[in-house]
A and B are shown apart, each in its own frame.
Chain A
């Protein structure tokens, strides 16, 4: 009985995000002209997994009490790269996919190296590296274009057994292969400890540098999976500044909706995934209610504002005013 309570307390953010998502999705589907069918789910999930991958990448950094403002640019860069090399015969495609993932991990590792060994604040370091990654993306794709292995793209964006969206299956697989082992490993726990208090983690003899480096590298890898999927959906590569910046900003929003604390140390990538799914569903709600699309940004902004205002409810629990200033 006790264990169960601890689990709920620990996962409160994730469960809340899951709840928000379910409510939003029910509203969305019940008002969708086509009703609840596998095509609607497939379209919705294909749009949402992109943000889900980027939000997972952001979670890894945020739990170490950092912030990654280059995550959208890694996403854009790997999209541009994939439109060059994920093409051709199966073997070539396989090497291409590996190359894209390795590039993403390398971008994350560069961020990590600058933050850990250069001792720069993550927020400014990633602003600068984001400019670099966007520059490389522009060099790769000055104009939108390129292609992708269409068989692979169709397989990964289609439906398995005609029902389950393949992109959701890949998302689940990535959670099982990357997130679960990471968050249960000694280094993963050390990364959480760094987020709570870097000094305390150091004093306890935890490998803080290796833990942070792993977090940044895996974050780059996850962002590149997102970039790969963007290529599978659009069949092109495009170095779009606005889209890259939006993904960075939306990933922060998704992470917060997902119950991950921006102060570090708590939260889970699974929460961030539901945060991303909820955020995307909110954005799509207007379409099913047949509003003028012009109102969509305002609606999305107001909902975001209300969602973050929920965080203020924690103030009601404060017994001592000094707890305001953490």
Chain B
């Protein structure tokens, strides 16, 4: 573990940021935070989390898959994947860091491998940051994610007077080595340290997260063996009745990973790009025919069934929600996964499965 006096944090970002692309959460003009590339004078936001999740780095809002340029009978094909350079993301919270594994399961561990996503994952160094002050809307602990010990390539903690860094992976080790030499060049005092201060902070964070309101929700009803009971419950009608059908929840969600592929006519060629898509939209997955989910109830149900039942059935019980709380914060009608879990738990319509074996 290494430590740096907090007073040198800006200089540290400068040392790293002038050497390689570095992204840190920064306050924007609306008073909320976004990950923005470091430039001189940038400061780390004090916000607990960014409005958009860190998935944006690996599965951006839009990305060009391939460009075709036409000149007479000549067709030039441009593959954008080779241009990627290594980049560093600082300040990813434990929830967002946990979301990467969930997306990796689909885009890297299954075939065909999503080479665009994989390329970005390989080039990105993720430096996580422990949450000293979790919000009431946070419930990562429900999914056994530890806000006090965030994963990623390098874990970081910020105490009242120092930054602590601990490498977890080869990529992380390489970054720390580079950081050490950069701080030497820039006369910064990044040095080895014990983990006393970090342990104390972790104890404090764990005590706080333990007391949060949604970290002990019961997920027993969302077992794979109970799938049809949850699916057929009457409550979906009531819960979804006022859903606007917008894509806010899906776009701020770190584990929502659906996309659509479109062609863009540039006038002298074609840009084929992909962009986020949302199962909440009426024109979602409009491929050969139409969206198979004709009503908002079905679209709404799909999103929660996928996160709490279908995905876990495919991935050894791993839920595709990380409890970041963004949907609780951003939904225009304040409908969210916590309200859904509670409604299912309170519903006599949905039995508690007698056995969870083979389910999750």
Q: Do A and B bind each other?
A: no
Residues of chain B whose beta carbon lies under 8 Å from any beta carbon of chain A: none
Interface residues, chain A, with chain B CB atoms under 8 Å away: none
